Amino acid sequence: MTQLNIVILAAGKGSRMHSDKPKVLHALAGRPLVQHVLDCAVALQPQQVCVVYGHGGEAVPQAMHRYPAKFVIQEPQLGTGHAVQQAMPHLPDEGRTLVLYGDVPLIQQNTLHQMQQAGESLVLLTVNLENPAGYGRIVRNTRGDVTGIVEEKDALAEQREIGEVNTGIMLVPTKALRAWLADLRNNNAQGEYYLTDIVGMAVQQGVAVHTVQPAHEWEMHGINSKQQLAVLERTWQQVEASRLLAHGVTLADPARIDVRGRLNCGRDVEIDIGCIFEGEVMLGNNVHVGAYSIIRNASIADGTIIAPYSLVESSEVGANCLIGPYARLRPGTKLHDEVHIGNFVEIKNSEIAANSKANHLSYIGDSTVGSRVNIGAGTITCNYDGANKYRTVIGDDVFIGSDTQLVAPVTVGKGSTIGAGSTITRDTPEGELTLSRNKQTTINGWKRPTKKI
Ligand code: UD1
Ligand code: CA
């Protein structure tokens, strides 16, 4: 295959979004529109990627600075041909240039590969629409060869009947593209320099024009409004849900799951309604995720049950654990196998070894917890003195009574027991009972106050 350069047009204003943010930075499936396109572009391993931006100041280059792309400003915006022209000084003559759009986020690598393989010269991505209104039409001669693209506003009545439209995505020999762009004129209905006019020029010069259609129509859908964004988001979520179902995942309702990243599942995974998966998530075999749970950048090993309304973030959860309902695992949580974390328990930056339990109303932060530990209801690790954070270490086989405060830095010795209601400020000896509590007293004959009239 010939050498590839990619130009991503992203200078449009997007006034119909009614937003101060550049259109291409609005998110679909948790990622800015233009980031979807950049991810796809980079995966094709091109020589050069050029993003043409315009509105919103430096917001687009700043947001996408991690990508190995050249950011070129187009100011003013005089049409798609003018936009591509801005990128030309940065592209080598060799090979071909693929034109993509920052607001057409779901174009798939497969379709672009097909275009690369369709021919050596000019390749257009076209699609047949029931309702082609608004799109440039693909004009063909009686032999069926493409002779040009006519924009709707410039089209004759009979050309408007054509159902085959230009998606805008095209692959063009770069050296010829440079020459054709230099010859563009803006004597058309919109007074713009149309990229589409290069097709007629190619045909004039006897250059073969090939067309390819995308595997799915949604690949060419562009975003101009919040309505279109919402519709395409649902389309994409259906695609994700179908992929999971095809892989054998049980979804209580494929219309009520949101995947904003990559969700990898083992066998016999079950996901109830309303769950959100963000970033990289791995669910092992037989994992069940309860309703309305949110799992972000986490791995959950085989047989673990996440009960409803749990939030798991940047955590590693072992096998056969029971999490939730209403559990919150914050970044840096590592749970070994068969750990139970119950309702209203928050864990942060802590490692909990196998078979330990914190079932009710606790905060465990910056802690190392051994195996077979029972953390009673209401236990709090006091990890912060207002300025610095300290660690709590709890040995194997410890039993911590309810409503205990462990004031870090502190170590609770192996096999020891802490009496309920204690405030532990010093290390506790292994195997002993430690408690800090006022003695219980009874005041004989004490009377409750009565209401004064
Ligand atoms: C364009 C095509 C049309 C095609 C349609 C598909 C041209 C002349 N027409 O029409 O054949 O059916 O897309 O959606 O190319 N942009 C810039 N700078 C500019 C102008 C546009 O970056 O100066 C970007 C926009 O941000 C947008 C894309 O190019 O992402 C398309 O521009 P738009 O004005 O929407 O083109 P259409 O009129 O829809
Ligand atoms: Ca458009």
pLDDT of 59 strictly over 70: yes
Ligand 1 pocket, CB under 6 A = 9-12, 52, 74, 77-80, 82-83, 101-103, 135-136, 149, 151, 165-168, 194-196, 222
Residue ranges of alpha helices (H) inside 1-123 are 33-43, 59-63, 80-87, 109-118
Dihedral angle sign, alpha carbons of residues 84, 90, 95, 99? negative
Average pLDDT over residues 378-395: 96
Residue nearest to atom 17 of ligand 1 (CA): 11
Average pLDDT on 331-357 reads 98
232 CA to centre of ligand 2 in angstroms = 15
Query: How confident is the model at residue 1, as a pLDDT?
Result: 60
What ligand is nearest to the CA atom of residue 151?
1
Q: Which of 80, 103, 159 to mutate to test the pocket of ligand 1 (most atoms within 8 A of CB)?
A: 80
Residue 46: cis peptide before it, omega within 30 degrees of 0: no
| Phi–psi pair at 261, nearest 5 degrees | 150, -140
Active site residues: 360
The ligand placed nearest to the CA atom of residue 167 is 1
What's 167's DSSP letter? E
Q: What's the CA-to-centroid distance between 210 and ligand 1, angstroms?
A: 20
Helix axes 80-87, 174-182, angle to 10 degrees: 130
Q: What is the pLDDT of residue 438?
A: 86
Instruction: For 61-98, give one letter per residue: b (16+ CB within 10 A) or e.
Output: bebbeebebbbbebeebbbbbbbbbbbbeebeeebbbb
Expressed in angstroms and rounded, the spacing between residue 190 Cα and the centre of ligand 1 is 12
What is the percent of the chain where pLDDT is above 70? Answer: 100
> Could you tell me the CA-to-CA distances from 86 to 52, 170, 356, 447 in Å, in that order?
7, 17, 61, 88
Distance of CA 315 from the midpoint of ligand 2 (Å): 42
In this prediction, residue 232 has a pLDDT band, given cuts at 50, 70 and 90, of: very high
Q: What is the distance, to the nearest Å, from the Cα of residue 77 to the centroid of all Cα atoms in its chain? A: 30
**For 247-326, where are the alpha helices, taking DSSP H only?**
none
CA atoms within 13 A on the CB side of 376: 15
The ligand 1 atom at the shortest distance from the C-alpha of residue 12 is 26
Which ligand 1 atom is the nearest neighbour of the CA of 82?
23
- Cα–Cα distance, 402 to 262 (Å, whole number): 40
Q: Return the pLDDT at 453.
A: 85
Contact present, 85 and 192 (Cβ < 8 Å): no
Percent over 90 (pLDDT), the chain: 97
The answer to whether the beta carbons of residues 39 and 109 sit under 8 Å apart is no
Least confident of 155-169, 270-284, 437-451: 437-451
pLDDT over 70 (residue 449): yes
Average pLDDT for 211-229: 98
CA distances from 190 to 16, 109, 151, 310 (A): 18, 32, 10, 53
Ligand 2 centroid to residue 168 C-alpha, Å: 9
pLDDT tens readout for residues 160-173: 999 999 999 999 99
Q: Is the pLDDT of residue 429 over 90?
A: yes
Closest ligand relative to 150 C-alpha = 1
pLDDT score, position 137: 98
Look at ligand 1, atom 39, and give the residue with the nearest C-alpha: 135
Strands (E), 266-409: 270-271, 275-283, 288-289, 294-300, 305-306, 311-313, 315-317, 322-323, 327-329, 333-335, 340-348, 351-352, 357-365, 367-369, 374-375, 380-382, 392-394, 399-400, 405-407
Walk me through the domains of the chain, giving residue ranges and CATH numbers: 4-220 (3.90.550.10), 226-443 (2.160.10.10)
**What pLDDT was estimated at residue 350?**
98
Mean pLDDT of 115-134: 96
